[in-house]
Chain A
Amino acid sequence: MPKRNDIKKILIIGSGPIIIGQGCEFDYSGTQACKSLKDDGYIVVLVNSNPATIMTDPDLADATYIEPITADVVEKIIIKERPDAILPTLGGQTGLNTAMELSEKRILEKYNVLMIGADYLTIKKAENREEFKEAMLKIGIDLPESKLAHTIEEAKEAVKVIGLPAIIRPSFTLGGTGGGIARTEDEFERMAVVGLKNSMTTEILVEESIIGWKEYELEVMRDKNNNVVIVCSIENFDAMGVHTGDSITVAPAQTLTDLEYQNMRDASLAIIREIGVETGGSNIQFAVNPKDGRMVVIEMNPRVSRSSALASKATGFPIAKFAAKLAVGFTLDEISNDITKETPACFEPAIDYCVVKIPRFTFEKFPEAEDILGITMKSVGETMAIGRTFKEALQKGLRGLEVGHSGLDNKLDYREVSDKKIKYRLSQPNASRIFYIKYALLKGYSIDYIVELTGIDLWFIDNIKQIVELEQDIIKDFKLNQLNEKLLSKGLLLRAKQFGFSDYQIAELLNTKERLVRDYRKKLNIEAVFKCVDTCAAEFEAYTPYYYSTYETEDETKRSDNKKIVILGGGPNRIGQGIEFDYCCCHASFALKEIGYETIMVNSNPETVSTDYDTSDKLYFEPLTLEDVINIIDKEKPDGVIVQFGGQTPLKLARKLADLGVPIIGTSVESIDRAENRDEFSKLIKKLKIPQPENGSVYSIEEAVKVAAGIGYPVLVRPSYVLGGRAMKIVYDKKTLIEFMDEAKDVSGNHPVLIDKFLEDAIEVDVDAVSDGNLTVIGGIMENIEEAGVHSGDSASVLPPHKLGDDILDIIRKYTFLLAKELNVKGLINIQYAVKKGFVYVLEVNPRASRTVPFVSKVTGIPLAKIAAKIMVGKTLEELGFTKEIFINHVAVKESVLPFSRFSGVDILLGPEMKSTGEVMGIDSLFGNAFYKSQIAAGQSLPLNGTVFISVKDDDKRNIVFIAKKLYDLGFKIFTTKGTYKALISNNIPSLIIGKIADGDNHILDMIKTGKINLIINTPSGKKGHSDMKPMRNLSVMQGVPCVTTIQGAQATVNGIELVKKEDYSVTPIQHYLRNLLVVKNK
């Protein structure tokens, strides 16, 4: 039975910005779905507000709407496009929730749009706690005891029956927002309130605590003929109580007998059939009591999820692609397995390796938040590692995390860690618990005791113990061998490699250099081999070259004679380095394939499109460390290696790779160093006579104090060689400088700390350009909406600039050309400028791909990364037909999305350290509309009327008048603090005074809680102002009230509100903007 012919046009909902709990895995799934549906002849309409995605590339859908994902906006798209069907199961919880709202508002019915993949009732049955429970009881599946509550009173009644500790789970949220484990009555009450607020349906589940049980996940697919397959089983290393997204997870399940596994499998089949996900993928979570084997179902996601992406990468089975095919009526036995070609997709992958996923956290960005893990997800990315054993995969994963570990190494001396600390770190799940398990083992704790403290299965602890024992053996052997000048006995070294020890890690144990271990190892013929990920444990021949390294007897790679380029990816997502860089890597691969190169991708991030096995000609799923990368290069002997697209991760390897004779293509490593090294850079700037804020680079606190005094406060302090403004701060006085230098020095390592004069109230400008060494062409000039000092990754920015004059822009262009030429850039270059009082200062030059490349490419239609990749292999801009900057006649605003709601207690103020996890884009013919859209897309729905609270610092008192006047004229009621009141009333703008929280007046908090405030404008100054209104800002985040913290942001906000109030905005696909653009160009 082939595909459905009753539908022709399908609307796919994307997942929007990258946020914690919803990462770039949905770009991966959405991209697969778009490609697959187009291949099957459907017209694809896509909505996704995230411009950094591959799926929003104009050629992946027939009409691509980079517009906010809300029911209102999607309705507009439906009216315009009139699709036959909507596919909501590939855009994460956002896609699902939006489709549900459209259905509830009867919009789908009105326009005759069919929901495919999973329908309304199915989704409701899976997502609504009560209905799910009922369905499970009907088919005889056990669940934890639970009760639903819709009010705080009901919640209190429920907990009386369930008992404490109890789990609170709000209905209809993503990543468990607002959920938690309550141990005391107080805790329970507080969490219940937040949970009710966070639920789309004001509903929470109070549930029996099964903390400490083993947690499992099964990825399930079903077709319309009721055929069901399990793609993969996943076992959590951490016991129940830690969100799956924050847990180390392992595939396949390790500690289930066949009887228990088949019970779980049978339950999954029964569940997907009962819930009724007819066509597509789901994931089902189970918990198993380790003491008696009691199995309960936790939840089911009736859609493609983060775990589906992981399962796809772990097995080679493309879940999202097949989910799309099933949704349009294909059956599993009609789809062929791409990897084996001969066998059908209707089977269950058999894997012959072990996969470990490790989450990456960014607690260092939020020092006020403790790194304790619970049922609300906090990680911002993940790395996956494949090894023949758990030990190997675990150690590969730990070094792939790129947080300074070379494996399960010794960052602390275990003898100096107290028992009290160890017990605390073992019993409270946290980001570095795995290392404390090691310390505990070294201290002689028994496996059983560690199991008791952590709830982690004995088998995992024993495997860690094996690593620890081998490490002890290495140290012992080394001492013995020192006499006969042998580094390590061969058998032991081989075993260490098979246990996943890196050369660097071994070198640390032997007090020697990585290079020496490597040379010694090679001399002994201990070399990495590469094995294939083939879905079938070698039972059939595999055609898809998807590899991982290990230390075994047979190597399966086949090197071709083609011209080939290796592209190094960005590793796990983190704040400052995310999907934008993966986008660039994918584009490089696509571009080089276009001109006949074989492309080889190296990356370790399972969420991404770059690790899809059909993005490049070959995929190596490996950590991005020197050792792992060089092993691949030794094997493939590529004609070139690209380091400039994957962010800091590959850039950090560039110098070492070049020293080993690896052919790095594009801008030279020397040029990269010249731009990063502050002294070299200052020389370069002086030579070109380009103004730069006064600055210096220092290695000590004493030097810093001296330099800062010379420059004059305020100063901007930052380490070199970091992305995302890590440990970057504006410092107003000597005392703070001394305090902060410690942290900055720590992050900077051997590199100097940079001190710049901070240009207050300057406008920051971001430029992306591409150069072939002779010609440089600007891709886009973006003006940041927040003032200089707010990290450009967090600031909203507008393309083209809306305030800067042509004279200024011409200076910026001139400087850009000069810098690109001087650095002999071959590829991309990103430059940040500050404009103050008509002067243009250069702040930073990055001769590499930047975070804004996908945004610029989407807005202008120029595939900058593709052009850059082709330049790197020798093409010229002339040959590529891109010789002139494009002028657009529409406006796009990029807005950042911040994770504050995840980290209670963290102030939401923006600063030089980047904190956002993702971005959205608003595009329109008018700036106000584009800004307004960007705010909706970022989840800050701006009010068109109601009450606004304004409290600004003295410097902003003059500028706020105009803004407040506008709001007043638009009919807003205004509340102010005393100082702001005075500024307004003297300009005849009436407002009502509210006391400051610092003075003991909590009135404003009550008003926000009761929903009486619709918009907040609060620009604090100095340390005092920062802490004064912090509780209010935090509350606004929790309550979802838009809070604008800069005067520029306030201006743009009012501009947007005014325009939209006058006339509702419309939606337009980017293909339309780009078509118009071509016309302009041709003129």
Chain B
Amino acid sequence: MDELIDAKIVLEDGTVFKGYSFGANGYGVGEVVFNTSMSGYQEILTDPSYKGQIVTMTYPHIGNCGVNFEDNESIKPFVNGLVVKECSRIKSNWRSKKGLSEYLKENNIIGIEGIDTRALTRHIRLQGEMRAVISTEDLDDKQLIIKAKNSLSLIGRDLVREVTLEKFFYFNEKGAYNIVVIDCGVKTNILRKLKALNCRVSVVPANTDYQKILKLNPDGILISNGPGDPSAVTYVVATAQKILGKLPIFGICFGHQILAQALGGKTYKLKFGHHGGNHPVKDLRNGKVYITSQNHGFCVDIESLNKTDIELTHINLNDNTLEGIRHKKMPIFSVQFHPESKPGPNDAEYLFEEFIEMIKSNKRRQTIKDEE
């Protein structure tokens, strides 16, 4: 058998799980969350929204297909650590280029296997998401608990600045609709979906001034997904507020929370977030249910929204939390889940088309106005 190197994950409440190391050596600190997707670990690792978090995969066999060149959702993995029952030592897929452990090592991300991930998940479900540390070096429980407790909490922390790109760039230079994406940690598939719908896609850093954005002469704005607490990212909320009513806006996940705040709503932290690919969401406009990909620890408070202006469009059938809104007068809508999937079901793809429809009708309105 291969040599096993001891490792531990220690939670801030003192809970300890012993396992074995894979990926990089050292420490990894962050908020520990669980993800129930049975496929798509590569997409999860490279989703910038996981910045600051240690991800526990509830499915026991991870890494079976290795890692390939095409399925990354950003330039590199962003998770602060990966917890699994078992990491495959071989890779089996015609597209795979690297084993998972090797890939994590290259990116200096620490993994721990041999963990009773179900027990860990139940613990989080009952006690709530909390900070933790994975270690392959120092295995002293007391020291590790202190380390976990001293690590930064997600609440009130701006993680967007750590994942947003430094410079403006074109994802796609040509297209019928000019879309500006405010990058709070955007997943590449959002950009791919826009491109596929014949959009010219410009990506701007999250702190870009609204005037600069408007100078790009966009037909619509997309506020992307991203990590952490939306309340800590007031500058994007401010930007959104300035654009409200001027242009069609589509918010996804973190972008949805930003928009809700811009419209006067509040967000709060869930006891344990939604991370997985099987959440049923009902589109209240037609009664249809879509199985969605989700990844969020914060949520928009339904009570805080002004219902005269805002229509609730989507609801989570598992816990009845808010999943989508639409402004009754302005061309604005947003969803808490990931219509771009990756990983997860493609059921909600239609929302990108709705966005394009919104842009089209806004353009028509604009033209009529101009003619008048």
Contact = CB atoms under 8 A, between A and B. Distances in A.
B64 interface: yes
A258 B278 contact: no
A262 B345 contact: yes
A539 B276 contact: yes
B280 A333 contact: yes
A265 B349 CA distance: 14
Contacts of B37: 258, 350
A145 interface: no
Interface in A371-395: 388-390
Interface string A243-281: 000000000111111111110011001000000000000
Interface string B72-111: 0000000000000110111011110000000000000000
Given A259-B71, A458-B90, A553 B17 contact: yes
A458 B92 contact: yes
B279 interface: yes
Contacts of B336: none
Interface string B175-207: 000000000000000000000000000000000
Interface in B224-265: none
Interface stretch (A287-295, A296-304, A606-614): A287-295
B317 A225 contact: no
B213 interface: no
A350 B278 contact: yes
A457 interface: yes
B125 A538 contact: yes
Given A227-B289, A343-B318, A539-B276, A255 B64 contact: yes
A460 to B, nearest CB: 9
Nearest to A294: B94
Interface string B5-41: 0000000000001000000000000000010111110
B59 interface: yes
B274 to A, nearest CB: 9
Contact of A553 (B34, B116, B341): B116
B317 A389 contact: no
B136 interface: no
Nearest to B316: A343
Main secondary structure of the interface of A (DSSP, over half): loop
Given A257-B95, A347-B280, A466-B1, A537 B40 contact: no
B342 interface: yes
Interface string B303-339: 0000000000000011100000000000000000000
B58 A352 contact: yes
B36 to A, nearest CB: 4
B280 A469 contact: no
B308 to A, nearest CB: 28
Nearest to A465: B90
A531 B345 contact: no
A554 B120 CA distance: 9
Nearest to B90: A462
B346 A266 contact: yes
Contacts of A1058: none
Interface residues of B, number: 56
Given A348-B291, A457-B92, A459-B88, A354 B346 contact: no
B94 A253 contact: no
Interface in A507-552: 531, 536-541, 552
Interface string A472-499: 0100000000000000000000000000
B291 A347 contact: yes
A291 B94 contact: yes
B370 interface: no
A552 B119 contact: yes
A346 interface: yes
Contact of A389 (B60, B276, B280): B60
Contacts of A995: none
A843 B71 CA distance: 69
A1044 interface: no
Main secondary structure of the interface of B (DSSP, over half): loop
B282 interface: yes
Contacts of A911: none
B317 A347 contact: yes
A332 interface: yes
B78 to A, nearest CB: 17
B234 to A, nearest CB: 32
A943 interface: no
Max chain B Cβ within 10 angstroms of own Cβ: one of A229, A262, A541, A556: A262
A466 B1 CA distance: 7
A347 B318 contact: yes
A290 B91 CA distance: 13
Given A258-B71, A458-B92, A540 B118 contact: no
Contact of A226 (B17, B34, B70, B288): B288
Given A227-B288, A344-B317, A348-B291, A293 B95 contact: yes
A350 B38 contact: yes
A353 interface: yes
B151 interface: no
B60 A352 contact: yes
Q: What class of interface size applies to chain A in its complex with B?
A: 35 or more
A459 B90 contact: yes
Given A459-B88, A537-B36, A257 B42 contact: yes
A226 B344 CA distance: 19
B139 to A, nearest CB: 15
B117 interface: yes
A269 B347 CA distance: 9
Given A261-B39, A552-B118, A333 B282 contact: yes
A540 B119 CA distance: 13
Given A333-B280, A389-B85, A473-B1, A343 B42 contact: no
A939 interface: no
Contact of A354 (B61, B117, B344): B61
Contacts of B59: 252, 350-352, 537
A349 interface: yes
B324 to A, nearest CB: 16
B1 A390 contact: no
B122 interface: yes
B64 A459 contact: yes
A556 B42 CA distance: 31
Contact of A346 (B60, B117, B122, B317): B317
A470 interface: yes
Nearest to A1: B287
A622 B355 CA distance: 51
A674 B276 CA distance: 58
Contact of B94 (A226, A290, A466): A290
B94 A293 contact: yes
Contacts of B85: 388-389
A538 B276 CA distance: 12
Contacts of B279: 347
A469 to B, nearest CB: 5
A462 B17 CA distance: 27
Interface of A: 225-227, 229-230, 233, 252-262, 265-266, 269, 290-293, 332-333, 342-344, 346-354, 388-390, 447, 457-459, 462, 466, 469-470, 473, 531, 536-541, 552-554, 556
The 7 closest A-B pairs by CB, nearest first: A258-B40, A554-B119, A258-B343, A537-B58, A350-B36, A459-B92, A348-B278
30 contacts: A225-B289, A233-B38, A253-B38, A256-B93, A257-B42, A257-B65, A257-B68, A258-B39, A258-B43, A259-B71, A260-B93, A262-B344, A343-B318, A344-B318, A347-B278, A347-B280, A350-B59, A350-B277, A352-B36, A354-B61, A388-B60, A389-B86, A459-B88, A462-B90, A470-B1, A537-B36, A537-B276, A538-B121, A539-B125, A552-B119
Interface of B: 1, 17, 34, 36-40, 42-43, 58-61, 64-65, 68, 70-71, 85-86, 88-90, 92-95, 116-119, 121-122, 125, 272, 276-280, 282, 287-289, 291, 317-319, 341-347
Given A258-B42, A537-B59, A540-B318, 8 more contacts: A225-B289, A258-B342, A262-B344, A262-B346, A265-B345, A332-B289, A350-B36, A554-B118
